[in-house]
Structure 1
Amino acid sequence: MLKRSFEDFSAGNISSLSDALQHADELLRAAQALKQDLENLGGDAEPSGKIAAILQGHREKILPATRALMPDQKSKQENRSQKSLKLGDSHYTANGLPEAVSVPSLESLTRWTMHDISRSGLPPLVPVLNPVLEQAAFTHSGMATKHTDMSYERLEWIGDAYIYLLSSAYIFQTFPNLSAGRCSQLRERIVKNETLSDYTIKYGMETRIRYPHGFDVPGGKGGNSANHKSRRKVLGDIFEAYVAAAILGDPSGLSRVAPWLKTLWSANLKDEIRKEYTDRPVIAQAPTVQGRDGTDTTPNQQDLNPKVMLLKAIGTKGVKISYKDLGPPKRERNSGLPWYTVGVVYDGLGESNLDLGFGSGLSKKEAGANAATQAMKNKKLMTRLQKRKEDVVRAAEASASLDYDDK
């Protein structure tokens, strides 16, 4: 402890305790000489000019002794700079962490399009430009030699937050008509441990993990006692830690990682992305409805709910449109959640239990909306039922007109 404190104190200018004592003696002698010369000026009526001369004369003896006993701040600053250079950038502290955490820009959080879906397999792995963070992303805390050494557990914590933020933003932007619950289901598919651990294995990261005995990660070093769930958790954490290291590893890390994750996740949600762009034109082009004045009208944009659109297109007095479950729910192949199938049925105006279409989804509401959308795609059937609606409307108007004339 004494040696460490003394080294910090001397900062390289004093090699032993005797040197320190020697410099202290020199400083005391210089101070006493300065005091004596100043006291000799006591009877001088105008000493100001002589004071400056005396101080200048003692300066050459006082300053060297003082500097020798002071910590070498310049040397310490240079050492810190060298550490920063080794970390790759002056924006990082001595333990490898950035001085500031990156915040996503609006440009990096745009919605998925059909062009974002990868057609060439796994996108190239984004590199980590900071070697200290890269090593930490694959190091278990049990392998740290000092308490200040970083490990993947700490990086995983901030990486998890980045992954949740980016995935939520992409889903929110891409699927404007999905409920919050359905958005959460999509997000869970791409951030759960099964998905992230699969990325870790596909990129071969598991072979780089440094962890103590007691873990059995395929391709790692040592241990064989962890069960399948624990291994999956470790592999998922490693991916989150790598994401954090890549983002924090240089000032432009987030701008490199965001599009990489966007492409990577698009493969998991490609069916939903394609469906969104396939169905969007159908929903936007609502069926025209003939008004009481004989002109064609289109439902307002606020009524883009497929069920509302279908009702406005073919519903009228004497018509009932109902939605019925088509058997018990099955299991969705990606999430394992209940998968509902609902059919839409038309009754009235000479039709009984007429099937208009069916749809499926992770909720009955979603399945019903998909059934209504499917029904509106059947243009031949829609045209026939709209004609019946028009006939009913005209007959009602004619009857009302006759009643008015009789009065």
Structure 2
Amino acid sequence: MNNLGIKISMFLNYFVFAILLNSVGIVILKSQNNYGVDEVQASILEPFKDMPIAIVSFLVASFLPRIGFKRGMLIALGLVALACVQMYFGNSFLSAKILFATVGVSFALIKVSVYSMIGMVTDNQKGHNSLMSSIEGVFMIGIALAYFLFPAFNDPNNPDAWLNVYWLLAALSALSFLFLLSTKFEKSIEIPGADLLDDFFQMFKLLAKLLTVVFVISAFLFVMIEQGIMSWLPTFNNKVLHLPESVGIMMASILAISLAVGRLLAGFITKHINWIWVLIICTISAMLLVIFVLPKAVGLEIKDINTIADIPLVGFAFPIVGLFIAPIYPLLNSVVLSALPKKLHSPMTGLIVVFSALGGSLGSMVVGWLFKNKGAENAFYFTLIPMSLLLLAYFILKKLTTKNAV
């Protein structure tokens, strides 16, 4: 089996979907300006994206090995390439809903396949940790790129010019499809259960294991932190730092970039340092940033800000928290997958996706409630609670994985 080709394919696939997934906010704005829908109507694009990811992952993860991971990813790339083309020609709010529903379904197939295949192309836990972190790092690069790619196609004289970006995204999807098609998959895939029904119930059997329970809680807590910060940082920048809206959004892209850098660095570091020390150091560093740097950012008096260059250095400090929280999610996923037999990686990934989606939605809502009831300047202090619980969870996970408790 061509491990290098498979790894490149996984990176390419994740990169393309990162751009598409992170474009939802941009398309929400375009839908209001171009298609005459209001904020409430436009907001439905988010669940059109997220719900298919959770539902399809839950339903398909257990028996995707029977279909084949390569075939699943080819289907996903083909669907999303067609969805991009229909978005260009459809040029309507209905087309946008079809696009994100297709992206959601397709990403579920991609994520389950990629996470399951990492164990097939790595030889040990450190290799698994490293590749998982690197793939998630490339994903964050794609997210950051979306902030710059879509505006590059804007034309003040042509409100439909932005749609040309979908030709580029369709081409990227097609290239990824062709590259994957030409990559050889020779290694046989272990099937989770005896039949389709047994495959599905393997996911529920996993929930009975202590390692899975601790991991699910840990992943849930982390995604609450990450999505809460990512979703509400533009609001924090606008209401607390009093930055112009456009500058505040660009500052949020710094968080995505720092997450990408953090995960890519973790991919290198975990080849040499045990995962638990990486997570402990990163989590404590993030907590110290919140405790000591956030008050200075909140108390900052900023005047005449027109570009990022006008912002004092301390204003960049809180987005840099992404550098330290970045390794947590991929390493947690890697630790639990490494401790499981390879045939259970697919159903376990289904659980990862479902609980990540739930954690992300709840995290954003909780931070929103805190912004309203505790004040925008105080909301992010509450991230210290799940961070503290994560520190405890690391030691439990370490003990369980060391004893091979699964």
Pair in the same fold by TM > 0.5: no
Q: Which structure: larger Rg?
A: 1
Instruction: Name whichever structure is richer in strand by fraction.
Output: 1
Bin the TM-score by the shorter chain: under 0.3
User: What TM-score results when the alignment is normalised by the length of structure 1?
Assistant: 0.22
TM-score (norm 2): 0.22
More helix by share: 2
